Amino acid sequence: MSAPAGSPRPAASARIPPRLGGAGASGAAAPAGPGPAPPQQNGPAQNQMQFPSGYGLHPQNYIAPSGHYAQGPGKMTSLPLDSQHGDYYSGLYTVPTQNVVTPNTAGQQPGAQQMYGRVLPAPHMAGSALGSFPGATSSASHVHTSASVNHHNSPAVGAANSSVASQGFPSTCGHYAMSTVSNAAYPRVSYSSPPAGDPYGQQMFTSQNAPPVRPIRDNSFSGQNTAISHPSPLPPPPPQQYHQEQSLSGYSTLSWSASGLPSTQDNLLRNHTGSLATANNNPTSPVADSLSSSVMQNVQPPVSSPVVSTVLSGASSARTPAAACHPAEPAASVTQPSELFQQKGVDSSSTTSSASPGPNSYDALEGGSYPDMLSSSASSPAPDPAPESDPTSAPAPAAAQPSKVAKPFGYGYPALQPGYQNAAAPPGAGPPSASPVYSGFQQYAQQYPGLNQLSSGLGGLSLQSAPQPESLRPVNLTQDRNVLPVTPVWAPVPNLNLDLRKLNCSPDSFRCTLTSIPQTQALLNKAKLPLGLLLHPFRDLTQLPVITSNTIVRCRSCRTYINPFVSFIDQRRWKCNLCYRVNDVPEEFMYNPLTRSYGEPHKRPEVQNSTVEFIASSDYMLRPPQPAVYLFVLDVSHNAVEAGYLTILCQSLLENLDKLPGDSRTRIGFLTFDSTIHFYDLQEGLSQPQMLIVSEIDDVFLPTPDSLLVNLHESKELIKDLLNALPTMFTNTRETHSALGPALQAAFKLMSPTGGRVSVFQTQLPSLGAGLLQSREDPNQRSSTKVVQHLGPATDFYKKLALDCSGQQTAVDLFLLSSQYSDLASLACMSKYSAGCIYYYPSFHCTHNPSQAEKLQKDLRRYLTRKIGFEAVMRIRCTKGLSMHTFHGNFFVRSTDLLSLANINPDAGFAVQLSIEESLTDTSLVCFQTALLYTSSKGERRIRVHTLCLPVVSSLADVYAGVDVQAAICLLANMAVDRSVSSSLSDARDALVNAVVDSLSAYGSTISNLQHSALIAPSSLKLFPLYVLALLKQKAFRTGTSTRLDDRVYAMCQIKCQPLVHLMKMIHPNLYRIDRLTDEGAIHVNDRVVPQPPLQKLSAEKLTREGAFLMDCGSVFYIWIGKSCDNNFIEDVLGCPNFASIPQKMTHLPELDTLSSERARSFITWLRDNRPLSPVLHVVKDESPAKTEFFQHLIEDRTEAAFSYYEFLLHIQQHICK
């Protein structure tokens, strides 16, 4: 067995030779430990490490990985690049490497890190086995490690192991109740700490299955439990190998256990230890790894982002055809039985892939290979390769795999940011309730305050403490004038048991308007509340488990991804929580098939986290992953040159050229247009960019086929030349026409072979060629209270173009920088249906309107550097009985539940309306799952899965208790936009009012003591009328106030595609008083103290002349300064001696060295940090004309054309009483 195990490694090593060398060096260095340690400490890395270990459990996976591995390196490197991951990688990787890999890796450090896992194997094989043992045994302190190392043959390894072990063990010890002391201390220990070790250890062993293994295992365990059991027990050489294997396996197991367990030790401690250990670890064999991994887990419980061991295979496959990968593996496997296993694993995977019918469309892809996922459960071929692999062989492979496992580590990216690592609790990591490990649980809870969880946690506090009573407490709206809470409104927490609640998806990504789903449509109708989901699927996450696995486990019938809410019937079967079909757990998902003692599938990260990301195999591709391709289509007519946006754009591009997401294949192109279309030949080798002019706009053609979109890296100098020249190139143009349509057609032709992103900058109405538009706005109708026309497109040219683009995986993003009417309603179609995004800068001028120019600059910075996913599809599934019916957002609906997204960006939000088709009486929980399949900018196919679980209730009171009023408002806003376009604005407004009237009257009829004089709402709905009033006064829906058509349409576009958090600020701004900021209740972010002033209600009655107020409207900040505002404040914060000297246009707060200035700025910076689009700041004096804009946002006040809040309540009451 051992031999085989070793063999695999060699293969891996062969590929990565350089690294190995590095590793060796590192190994030597390892003892020094401390040096390397720091990097390791990064929380994220550690976390990731854990995961791998988890994967390690599955031998099969490993095998596959190994094969892929070879290919892996390339990918590995690429991964780090990912915008999100980039930061993490280094930290994570390093750690993993240390743990996982053996000495080699240790040496490598950050650079090498990725490689590590793989590299290690080789080293391990030889001496590491011994080392590993010691490590395990030595579990105790680092110090030990050194000693242990000595004991063991491979010093480096030993050291590594020991250190690792010690760390790892401690954690385990804690769990088990073994004395934590042991951890730190040297391992004293007792053996087998069964608890932790058992499940895992057994599995591990079993998987390895070699008899010798068990002894080894014991040792290792002992190591964990006891102090150093020393390798000596292990002595037999073979055992050593096993140890290694075991260690690997154990590693994984350990990590799992660790993750599952709440480590008794402090996180910090763990981290440190972990880091140290890792540093030491070099070689350590798997054991060490495992230990370290465990440690890691402890430390970073949050880590949830474990990379699955299999990762390698996945990764490799992603890049290269599966077939290619396979060959590689066999070669590696050659050596031994273990190899055989690997081969089998590989084969199986390949077979599986082959078995699955080739996807014909993306639809099929996301669905899995099985097109008719839903309908034909039986018919669909089983994806699982697992069955094929022999159990017997499996053990051997396991050993081999461990080495591979290491690689997985590399892959796993702990999404945690460095800062967060320690702090971040493992939100997702929450151990399954069932697991014995649980003892640790409380600790997790403590850690919980993880960023993501924070909000839900707080929400939980408020709601949980008095769940029903509080949210159902009747509130008399007409008497309670202060319904707005002083703290931000948190998402209500579904009334689930604690375990499920912890596992549930973050409300930031996934929210439902009703956190308690009514049992029947009749009940829903009675409640008169909208039912729907609000999604923010591609949000930037601080932590994200990334899983690489040969087999992505999905329900055979509905193709649901396995998630925390499935139930395991036994070790071999799980029941889908959406369609209730019972599925087999694939071998790969179990720990060790050989011994038939299965691992714990419920401990896999897929089952521990409701938000996970899979690295998809080639089954999920229709074509090789596309490179990142960016095309800029720029208006250079007189109008555009006059506005001067080119300077800002080119400057931003020059600054961010290296930060554009992408890999070495990234391509970029430029195209400008006025009445003609100008292409730019940037072919490498040219001395300067060549402009090619096409004046035939009726039938656009591409002047040259392939040099217009060029490789960013190869032609960087030419691109820079062009960007430097562009702003001045057209300064004297007299061309006023704009041939946008033909330019878009040219862009489409240019992009259609690859797909990618087209960024269109337009400054006026298109006036030439296809898609030309006429001005439709009648300025006299801007403040009409009756009919608002022209909310829909004037032509379907842009829609058809968008659909064509969508079909070619091209998204069109529109930047409209216009001072006059530009018919955004028509132009927006090009982005709406191609999954692009829309930016609008009314009255943009680079010198006359500096605040807009600055906003453009900041928005561009974000736009150019944010994450991006290509050729994406998103499918939303829900429990049988529920059905989706309408989608909101920017996309094209390919089939009834599949959204086609040419691009996906982190700022895109979606909404879905739901209906209840069948009674849900036989279930107590419903689940929703969003699966977003996309190609990362590094050319990897990935699937991000979010799963939300909600309770089903049968009484109307419970339904009301669970209303998420913000989500409901956002969904209503989306529906109202649709209604405005398809019917009329007044219809939409009526519908909004009716939504309040209906729901409140329905509630009124459920409470017995109905007071006709009062307007009663449940506490959960008390903000409903206020928010609806805010919606009615929003630019999109207001009437009577002068609103430019483009502004209105833009607001509607925003409503459709903004995620909930940002949309809520647009609808109901937050008002704070900032002239008396204190540190009371302040929070600490990145070493800064951020004051948290209470929210004020949006009414002029709250504005005192003595105060200064900050209004946060999402994309705009207003600071209103009262006439008699304290001069100290004006001086300290605004830098002006008195009120009179405050300039009329002030868009910055000076950086003054005073306490109040610091507080104000840190508060504003904190608000800004929380959103993707940088808001513009306006300082508004009480007397300035700009104050009308500010006062428009005071939605509780009466305006000429609209009700005050109190009047609105009376209005509603009248309707109810009718």
Q: Identify which of residues 556 and 799 has a Cβ nearer to another protein in the complex.
A: 799
Q: Supply the minimum distance, in Å, between the C-beta of residue 889 and another protein.
A: 12
**Interaction between residue 797 and another protein (CB under 8 A):** yes
Candidates 13-21, 64-72, 251-259, 797-805; binding stretch for another protein (CB under 8 A)? 797-805
In 3D space, the residue among 669, 672, 652, 1118 whose CA is nearest the CA of residue 846 turns out to be: 652
Q: Supply the minimum distance, in Å, between the C-beta of residue 899 and another protein.
A: 9
Candidates 51-59, 283-291, 798-806, 841-849; binding stretch for another protein (CB under 8 A)? 798-806
Q: Supply the minimum distance, in Å, between the C-beta of residue 796 and another protein.
A: 5
Q: What radius of gyration, in Å, describes the C-alpha atoms of the chain?
A: 31
Residues 6+ apart with CB under 8 A from 543: 44, 47, 302, 303, 304, 305, 414, 415, 416, 420, 424, 427, 428, 450, 452
Instruction: Scan for tokens 């409901």, then name that residue.
Output: 968
**Interaction between residue 485 and another protein (CB under 8 A):** no
Q: Supply the minimum distance, in Å, between the C-beta of residue 1202 and another protein.
A: 30
Q: What whole-number distance in Å separates Cα of residue 562 and Cα of residue 602?
A: 10
Within residues 860-899, the interface with another protein by CB under 8 A covers 883-887, 892-896
**Interaction between residue 792 and another protein (CB under 8 A):** yes
Q: What whole-number distance in Å separates Cα of residue 1087 and Cα of residue 426?
A: 22
Which conformational region is residue 231 in: left (phi greater than 0), alpha (psi within -120 to 50 degrees), or beta? alpha
Site string for another protein, 1083-1102 (x = CB under 8 A): --------------------
Q: What whole-number distance in Å separates Cα of residue 56 and Cα of residue 408?
A: 9
The interaxial angle of helices 155-176 and 267-281, nearest 10 deg, is: 160
Q: Supply the minimum distance, in Å, between the C-beta of residue 769 and another protein.
A: 14
**Interaction between residue 793 and another protein (CB under 8 A):** yes
Q: Identify which of residues 678 and 888 has a Cβ nearer to another protein in the complex.
A: 888
Q: Supply the minimum distance, in Å, between the C-beta of residue 361 and another protein.
A: 15
Instruction: Give counts: helices (H), strands (E), the chain.
Output: 49, 32
Q: With beta carbons less than 8 A apart as the criterion, state whether 804 and 779 touch.
A: no
Virtual torsion, Cα 183, 186, 188, 191, nearest 10 deg: 60
In 3D space, the residue among 409, 549, 413, 545 whose CA is nearest the CA of residue 60 turns out to be: 549
**Interaction between residue 803 and another protein (CB under 8 A):** yes
Within residues 235-254, the interface with another protein by CB under 8 A covers none
Containing 583, the helix (H) or strand (E) segment is strand 582-584
Q: What whole-number distance in Å separates Cα of residue 851 and Cα of residue 1117?
A: 12
Per-residue exposure over 390-422, b if at least 16 CB sit within 10 Å of its own CB, e if not: bbebbbbbbbbbbbbbbbbbbbbbbbbbbbbbb
Q: How far is CA 466 from the centre of its chain?
A: 32
Q: Identify which of residues 748 and 797 has a Cβ nearer to another protein in the complex.
A: 797
Token reading at 933? 């399949």
**Interaction between residue 955 and another protein (CB under 8 A):** no
Interface size with another protein, residues (CB under 8 A): 22
User: In the set 487, 567, 731, 915, which binds another protein (CB under 8 A)?
Assistant: 915
Q: With beta carbons less than 8 A apart as the criterion, state whether 381 and 370 touch.
A: yes
Containing 221, the helix (H) or strand (E) segment is helix 213-225
Q: Supply the minimum distance, in Å, between the C-beta of residue 747 and another protein.
A: 20
User: In the set 800, 861, 1187, 1211, which binds another protein (CB under 8 A)?
Assistant: 800
Q: Supply the minimum distance, in Å, between the C-beta of residue 701 and another protein.
A: 22
Q: Identify which of residues 521 and 683 has a Cβ nearer to another protein in the complex.
A: 521
Q: What whole-number distance in Å separates Cα of residue 363 and Cα of residue 893?
A: 11
Within residues 818-837, the interface with another protein by CB under 8 A covers 832-833
Q: Identify which of residues 533 and 628 has a Cβ nearer to another protein in the complex.
A: 533
Q: Identify which of residues 982 and 1144 has a Cβ nearer to another protein in the complex.
A: 982
885 — phi, psi (to 5°)? -130, -30
**Interaction between residue 814 and another protein (CB under 8 A):** no
Q: Identify which of residues 884 and 1194 has a Cβ nearer to another protein in the complex.
A: 884
**Interaction between residue 441 and another protein (CB under 8 A):** no
Candidates 42-50, 537-545, 793-801, 1184-1192; binding stretch for another protein (CB under 8 A)? 793-801
**Interaction between residue 799 and another protein (CB under 8 A):** yes
Q: Supply the minimum distance, in Å, between the C-beta of residue 876 and another protein.
A: 12
Q: Supply the minimum distance, in Å, between the C-beta of residue 827 and another protein.
A: 14
Q: Identify which of residues 116 and 928 has a Cβ nearer to another protein in the complex.
A: 928
Token reading at 759? 């960024």
Candidates 267-275, 559-567, 799-807, 870-878; binding stretch for another protein (CB under 8 A)? 799-807
Site string for another protein, 133-172 (x = CB under 8 A): ----------------------------------------
User: In the set 216, 346, 505, 794, which binds another protein (CB under 8 A)?
Assistant: 794
Beta strand pairing call for 1116-1121 and 1108-1112: antiparallel
Candidates 135-143, 582-590, 794-802, 1160-1168; binding stretch for another protein (CB under 8 A)? 794-802
Within residues 394-423, the interface with another protein by CB under 8 A covers none
Q: What is the DSSP string of 310-338?
A: THHHHHHHHHS-HHHHHHHHHHHHTTSHH
Token reading at 923? 């279930």
User: In the set 795, 808, 919, 1006, which binds another protein (CB under 8 A)?
Assistant: 795
Q: Identify which of residues 770 and 1177 has a Cβ nearer to another protein in the complex.
A: 770
Token reading at 725? 């020249």
Q: Identify which of residues 351 and 886 has a Cβ nearer to another protein in the complex.
A: 886
Diameter of the chain measured on Cα atoms:
93
| Residue 685 burial class via C-beta count within 10 angstroms: exposed 0-12, middle 13-18, buried 19 and up | exposed
Q: What whole-number distance in Å separates Cα of residue 102 and Cα of residue 105?
A: 6
Q: Identify which of residues 603 and 832 has a Cβ nearer to another protein in the complex.
A: 832
Q: What is the DSSP secondary structure assignment for residue 227, as one 8-state letter?
A: B
Q: Supply the minimum distance, in Å, between the C-beta of residue 883 and another protein.
A: 7
Q: Supply the minimum distance, in Å, between the C-beta of residue 893 and another protein.
A: 4
Q: Identify which of residues 264 and 834 has a Cβ nearer to another protein in the complex.
A: 834
Q: Supply the minimum distance, in Å, between the C-beta of residue 73 and another protein.
A: 43
User: In the set 796, 918, 1101, 1106, which binds another protein (CB under 8 A)?
Assistant: 796
Q: Identify which of residues 110 and 793 has a Cβ nearer to another protein in the complex.
A: 793
Q: Identify which of residues 658 and 699 has a Cβ nearer to another protein in the complex.
A: 699
Q: Identify which of residues 770 and 1064 has a Cβ nearer to another protein in the complex.
A: 770
Residue 12, helix vs strand vs coil: helix
Q: What whole-number distance in Å separates Cα of residue 589 and Cα of residue 309?
A: 11
**Interaction between residue 116 and another protein (CB under 8 A):** no
Q: Supply the minimum distance, in Å, between the C-beta of residue 806 and another protein.
A: 10
Q: With beta carbons less than 8 A apart as the criterion, state whether 1098 and 1194 touch.
A: yes
Q: Identify which of residues 699 and 796 has a Cβ nearer to another protein in the complex.
A: 796
Q: What whole-number distance in Å separates Cα of residue 398 and Cα of residue 247?
A: 10
**Interaction between residue 656 and another protein (CB under 8 A):** no
Residues 6+ apart with CB under 8 A from 726: 634, 646, 650, 670, 672
Beta strand pairing call for 810-818 and 756-762: parallel
Q: Identify which of residues 346 and 973 has a Cβ nearer to another protein in the complex.
A: 973
Give the footprint of another protein on this chain (CB under 8 A): 792-797, 799-800, 803, 832-833, 883-887, 892-896, 915
